[in-house]
Each structure stands twice: as structure tokens, then as C-alpha cells.
Amino acid sequence: MGLRKAYQAMCRAFPGGSEAMATALGMSAASLQNRIYEVKGQVLHTEHALAMQTLSGRSDFAEAVARITGGMFVQLPGLDDECDNQELLTKFTLILDQLGVLARTHAQAIADGVVDDHEKAELERIAHDAHRHIQELLQLTFRIYRSNESTDETSAARGLRTA
């Protein structure tokens, strides 16, 4: 998803759509649309994109930026969320299932000696989801088994990490 599609998705997710989003950002609907579509060199500034993300309750902007820069956005579990060994076990089971799906899909994709565009996209999607769940598992593990004093990460870095 590119930036424009991310902006559009966040507007659609906001109650009242683009017009309500524009009002919440303190601009007219036309101004917001001009920035989204970069009319006459106008751009949507990062601060507005982050505000849109917060207002919509989505992570489209972070995901688009991560993808554009060759990474991936991993939404970390909230600091208020309770987690325990059962949740870790559930994550491990999910990851193992995803790796099995990846292995089967990979075998099917290379069976004819060529990986086409559809197969490539599917392999990347499965791998992306598995990687995201691995990162979530690690963060939950660190939350349970590391003391708060031993973390070097700021709260901002935890909230905006890309991998």
C-alpha cells in the first residue's frame, strides 16, 4: 500500500469520512484532498499523517512508510495488555502453523520451476505475517521475562518500530 492509499484508508475508517477527518485536522475537505493527491505540489505533512493514523485507529501510514523503505511495521502489544505463558504458547503455535503454510506454498510455487507474480505476492504475504508474529512473540517474551530497568528502548521507539 502506498502513501496515498494509506491516507484514503484512514479517511474511510474515520467516522464521517474525509470531510470529518479534514475538520478534525483543522482544514477544509478540499485542502485535505489536495494534499492527499498532491495537487499543485501540496503535500500531507508527517504530523498530519500521524494525526490521521491516531484519529482513525489504524496503522496504514506506518505500514506504508515501512514498506516504502524496505521494512515492515510491527504493531507491538500495548503496555497495558496482560500477557502470560499461555499467550506465548498461542503465538508459537500460530507461527508454526504459518511456517507450515509457507513451506507448502513455497513447494507449490517452485514445482513448475517458475515463481509467477501471484505466487511471489502470496509467499511475501505469508512471510510478512509470520515475521510480524515472530516480532510480537519476542516483545511479549521480553515483557514477561526482562525487568523494566533492562530495556534500552524509549517508549516512542517501542511504538514506532519497523523491522
Mean pLDDT of the chain: 88
Q: What is the pTM of this model?
A: 0.65
Q: Is the confidence at residue 30, as pLDDT, over 90? A: yes
More confident residue, 1 or 132: 132
- Extract long-range pairs of 74-83: CB within 8 Å, 24+ residues apart: 74/131, 74/132, 74/135, 74/136, 74/161, 74/162, 74/163, 75/132, 75/136, 76/135, 76/136, 76/139, 76/158, 76/159, 76/161, 77/136, 77/139, 77/140, 77/143, 79/155, 79/158, 83/140, 83/143, 83/144
Lookup: cell for 72: 515492515
Q: Is the confidence at residue 154, as pLDDT, over 70? A: no
The pLDDT value given to residue 1: 76
Confidence of residue 141 (pLDDT cuts 50, 70, 90): confident
Confidence of residue 156 (pLDDT cuts 50, 70, 90): very low
What is the arithmetic mean of pLDDT over 143-147? Answer: 83
The pLDDT value given to residue 78: 66
Q: What is the CA radius of gyration of the chain?
A: 19
- Extract long-range pairs of 35-43: CB within 8 Å, 24+ residues apart: 36/4, 36/7, 36/8, 36/11, 37/4
Please calculate the CA angle 6-94-91 and round it to the nearest 5 degrees.
90
38-83 confidence digits (pLDDT tens): 999 999 999 999 999 999 999 999 999 998 998 888 877 766 566 7
The pLDDT value given to residue 87: 83
Q: Is the confidence at residue 132, as pLDDT, over 90? A: no
